[in-house]
């Protein structure tokens, strides 16, 4: 038995790109697209649509900018029902870089925002909807949102935005299943005309269970990434989502193949997954940036000292 409305979005290349400045080569990205297509995954998020006037193409790979011709090169010749998604951040996109949907290989644009920036997000998402794209708003750092501000944010999204889907984003991997239940129920209660989605980080090994929890409470859009690849502790593994969902349209085998061929070797070059500093930031509901810095330093395994550096300062 399965719920046909559930859609899986794989954000491997987009979220994983945060670990290598979006420098995946076209061959790798085509392998991922082929695997997701063969597995029947609904969406593939390929990167950010950042403005090359705000970030230097010399410092970042092409999946920070997602030029339409680069996407075209990835999908060329591969038979697929998988739609292409790109993410934009408030204040980092030039809307004039985005051509109308009919002229682009992109199907969906997801706008990532903090609660405080929801007005900007609504402007962007309505602009992209006008250009013909499927659209979502992804509310980041939701574990830090004050309840009254989140209520107002969700009400605005319901009343003023044309986004079809609103995502709860556990940026810090700090949610437990009870918190997830609370947030998804709250979102479903306010967003009468929209679908709700879940994007979970895996700092405390809870990304998969929080995604299941969201599905139990009627979120119909779930994010995964192959072998959990993503920033720091990574995301909910796509292969586990497919093992859980019983929809016969999905096939786990192409995902297993691409893990063997691409992700096992990649693990020797990029570090992601369960490491103690990421667990600590999850436990403490903190951004992982200091943990990522620690893992790149010669103190990468000084866990107690790192923990004490985070809990040592009073915030009074």
For its own copies, the binding residues (CB under 8 A) are 176-178, 202, 204-210, 212-213, 216, 227-228, 237, 239-240, 243-244, 252-253, 256-257, 259-260, 264, 273-274, 276, 279-280, 282-283, 301-304, 307-308
DSSP designation for 82? P
Antiparallel, parallel or unpaired: β 83-89 and 43-48? parallel
Which of residues 82 and 204 has its CB atom nearest to its own copies in the complex?
A: 204
- Least Å distance between CB 195 and its own copies? 22
Using CA atoms, how far apart are residues 249 and 37, in angstroms rounded to an integer?
11
Which of residues 117 and 213 has its CB atom nearest to its own copies in the complex?
A: 213
DSSP designation for 201? B
- Least Å distance between CB 42 and its own copies? 20
DSSP string, 100-155: -GGG-S--EEEEEE-GGGHHHHHHHHHHHHHTT-EEEEEE-SGGG--HHHHHHHHH
How far, in Å, are 15, 67, 75, 132, 306 from residue 107 at the CA level? 18, 14, 13, 9, 42
Which of residues 106 and 240 has its CB atom nearest to its own copies in the complex?
A: 240
- Least Å distance between CB 179 and its own copies? 11
- Least Å distance between CB 240 and its own copies? 6
**How many C-beta atoms surround the C-beta of residue 246 within 10 A?**
10
- Least Å distance between CB 271 and its own copies? 13
Which of residues 116 and 246 has its CB atom nearest to its own copies in the complex?
A: 246
Which of residues 213 and 223 has its CB atom nearest to its own copies in the complex?
A: 213
Listed in sequence order, the residues at least 6 apart from 180 whose beta carbon sits closer than 8 Å to its beta carbon are 168, 170, 198, 210, 213, 214, 217
- Least Å distance between CB 231 and its own copies? 17
Which of residues 60 and 306 has its CB atom nearest to its own copies in the complex?
A: 306
Short-list 192, 41, 166, CA closest to 110: 166
Which of residues 21 and 260 has its CB atom nearest to its own copies in the complex?
A: 260
Q: Is the separation of the CB atoms in 46 and 63 below 8 Å?
A: yes
- Least Å distance between CB 187 and its own copies? 20
């Amino acid at each position: 038995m399965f719920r046909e409305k559930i859609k899986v979005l794989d954000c491997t290349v987009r979220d994983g790109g945060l670990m290598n400045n979006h420098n995946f080569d076209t061959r790798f990205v085509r392998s991922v697209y082929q695997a997701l297509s063969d597995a029947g995954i609904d969406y593939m998020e390929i990167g950010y649509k950042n403005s090359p006037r705000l970030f230097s193409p010399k410092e970042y790979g092409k999946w920070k900018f997602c030029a339409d011709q680069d996407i075209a090169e990835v999908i060329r010749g591969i038979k697929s029902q998988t739609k292409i998604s790109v993410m934009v951040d408030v204040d980092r996109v030039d809307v004039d870089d985005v051509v109308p949907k009919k002229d682009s290989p992109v199907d969906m644009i997801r706008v990532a925002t903090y609660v405080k920036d929801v007005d900007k997000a609504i402007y962007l998402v309505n602009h992209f909807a006008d250009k013909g794209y499927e659209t979502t708003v992804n509310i980041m750092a939701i574990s830090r949102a004050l309840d009254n501000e989140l209520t107002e944010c969700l009400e605005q999204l319901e009343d003023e935005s044309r986004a079809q889907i609103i995502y709860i984003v556990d940026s810090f991997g700090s949610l437990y299943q009870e918190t997830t239940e609370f947030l998804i129920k709250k979102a479903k209660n306010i967003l009468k005309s929209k679908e709700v989605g879940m994007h979970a980080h895996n700092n405390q090994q809870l990304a998969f269970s929080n995604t299941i929890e969201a599905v139990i409470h009627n979120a119909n859009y779930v994010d995964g990434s192959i072998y959990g690849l993503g920033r720091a502790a990574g995301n909910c593994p796509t292969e586990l989502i497919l093992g859980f969902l019983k929809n016969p349209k999905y096939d786990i085998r192409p995902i297993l193949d691409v893990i063997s061929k691409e992700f096992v070797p990649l693990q020797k070059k990029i570090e992601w997954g369960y490491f103690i500093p990421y667990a600590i930031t999850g436990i403490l509901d903190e951004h992982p940036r200091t943990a990522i810095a620690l893992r790149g330093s010669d103190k990468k395994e000084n866990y107690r000292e790192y923990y004490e550096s985070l809990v040592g300062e009073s915030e009074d």
